[in-house]
């Protein structure tokens, strides 16, 4: 197995656990977290625009990737409604499931990008930058709600392990499939990511940081787009 894949998987998934550990001992200013989330949003837009959907359309046309994109968004919405229903009275489980529904599609498609040596820096950067404030916010919220530090660490470490496995599984189990199948999977993940940005990441950033976070989003897009030109 590619050592670079394992390293990228560890960094991407470990950033969530790192954020959770950080959130137990230090809560950064909300405006700083909002700026980081906005930057990550711009990076995700770059990944979606340059790698996930555009490349899929170039490979398989517009119909299949387009339908898959919409399916990814719909599945995400249904999943979040499910999380909200069962998460009432259980902040830890709600946060855990929400992170899985956000992170698994991203992680699987990150693994896919290593098939054929087409790994994408914008997607990796977006995942890492997004995971840290997500872990900080999740862990600090659970601690405020009365959860013990040990239970918080177990929960968010387990989440990181699941995401690590998702990266590796996306690479291992989709080796050898057709380019059209990969295009469909990429588009599905792209739809889920787009829905996440619209439903959670960008609204949260705006709520905590105000209109100025729009600049951070633009910077995130520009800097990660520049990586595609290297």
- Predicted local distance difference test score (pLDDT) of residue 228: 83
CA atoms within 13 A on the CB side of 139: 29
* pTM given for the model: 0.90
Counting other chains too, the contacts that 146-150 makes at CB distance below 8 Å and 24 or more residues apart are 147/91, 147/92, 149/24
Q: Check pLDDT > 60 for residue 176.
A: yes
Higher pLDDT, 45 or 98: 45
Query: Mean pLDDT for the chain?
Result: 89
- Predicted local distance difference test score (pLDDT) of residue 121: 83
pLDDT digits over 40-88, tens only? 999 999 998 888 898 899 999 999 999 999 999 999 999 888 877 776 5
- Predicted local distance difference test score (pLDDT) of residue 82: 81
Q: Which of 25-29, 113-117, 148-152 has the lowest mean pLDDT?
A: 113-117
Q: Check pLDDT > 70 for residue 158.
A: yes
CA dihedral (150, 148, 158, 137) in degrees, to 10, reads -120
Q: Check pLDDT > 60 for residue 90.
A: no
- Predicted local distance difference test score (pLDDT) of residue 161: 95
The C-alpha R_g of the chain, in whole angstroms, comes to 17
pLDDT digits over 113-147, tens only? 888 666 578 899 999 999 999 899 888 888 888 88
- Predicted local distance difference test score (pLDDT) of residue 230: 75
Report the C-alpha gap between 214 and 211 in whole angstroms: 6
Residue 79 CB: number of other CB atoms within 10 A? 18
Q: Check pLDDT > 90 for residue 94.
A: no
Contact indicator for 161, 16 with CB cutoff of 8 Å: no
Q: What are phi and psi of 87, to 5 degrees?
A: -85, -5
Token pair 């394992």 is at which residue? 6
Higher pLDDT, 100 or 158: 158
Report the C-alpha gap between 208 and 32 in whole angstroms: 9
């Amino acid at each position: 197995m590619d050592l670079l894949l394992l390293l990228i998987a560890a960094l991407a998934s470990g950033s969530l656990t790192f954020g959770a550990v950080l959130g137990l001992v230090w809560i950064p200013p909300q405006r700083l977290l909002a700026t980081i989330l906005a930057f990550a949003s711009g990076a995700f837009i770059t990944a979606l625009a340059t790698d996930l959907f555009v490349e899929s359309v170039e490979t398989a046309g517009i119909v299949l990737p387009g339908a898959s994109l919409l399916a990814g968004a719909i599945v995400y919405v249904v999943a979040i409604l499910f999380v909200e229903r069962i998460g009432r009275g259980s902040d830890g489980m709600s946060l855990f499931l929400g992170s899985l529904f956000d992170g698994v599609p991203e992680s699987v498609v990150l693994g896919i990008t290593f098939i054929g040596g087409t790994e994408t820096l914008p997607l990796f950067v977006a995942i890492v930058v997004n995971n840290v404030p997500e872990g900080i916010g999740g862990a600090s919220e659970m601690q405020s709600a009365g959860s013990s530090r040990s239970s918080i660490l177990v929960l968010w470490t387990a989440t990181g392990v699941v995401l690590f496995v998702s990266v590796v599984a996306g690479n291992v189990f989709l080796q050898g499939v057709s380019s059209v199948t990969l295009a469909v999977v990429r588009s599905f993940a792209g739809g889920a990511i787009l829905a996440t940005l619209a439903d959670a990441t960008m609204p949260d950033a705006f709520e905590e940081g105000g209109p100025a976070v729009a600049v951070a989003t633009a910077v995130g897009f520009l800097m990660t787009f520049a990586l595609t030109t290297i």
